[in-house]
Amino acid sequence: MYRIPIKTQEQRAVSPGEGISVRECETGASREAEWKDRALRLQAEMDNYRKRQQRSAQDEVRKAQDHLLLEVLSIADNLDRSLAVTGEQPPSPAALLEGIEITRDALLQLLRGYGVERISAARQPFDPRWHEAVDVVSAESLGVEPGFVAEVSQPGYSRAGRLLRPARVVVAQ
């Protein structure tokens, strides 16, 4: 007598022609769930890392701002001292001028400490990358060559070769 082998449920194909057993299908489903879980955890870790980095960057910016503000406050204190001296007696113009100069020098020193430099403009060729023309005058009347800066209305500043504020100038024509 001929016997037909009977397949157990584990050995039967899930669908005809695929040849995947139920056990293999269940194992694949658990692996898929495991990978999905790993992906979700990694995504959460990346989100947390990004948030930590943003907080850290904000803290660094805040510390730098606090440091700068403390230095500016010392300049404000110098101005207060200058004003206090003028309130005690009739202010001497020389003393007042000296107080203003000391305060200006402190401010310029602070700016230099942060790499800020004044743009040289007077009697220089006009350069639209660094200068902003506010007026044009006759070159002959001022004894300046045409296309050169005749007067600086407001100084410009740069930091590390990058323009912070253009010099506002009067150009000879």
Q: Work out the pLDDT band at 87, boundaries 50, 70, 90.
A: low
* Residue 157, pLDDT above cutoff 90: yes
Residue 103 tokens read as 């305060």
96-145 pLDDT, tens digit per residue, is: 788 888 889 989 998 998 899 999 898 999 999 999 999 999 888 777 88
Q: Calculate helix-pair angle for 22-88, 93-113, nearest 10 degrees.
A: 160
Round to whole Å and give the CA distance between 161 and 138: 31
Round to whole Å and give the CA distance between 101 and 160: 26
Taking the domains of the chain in order of start, what are their residue ranges? 14-114, 118-173
**Could you say which architecture CATH assigns to the domain 14-114?**
Alpha-Beta Complex (3.90)
**Do 14-114 and 118-173 show the same overall fold?**
no
Give the class (CATH, top level) of 118-173. Answer: mainly beta
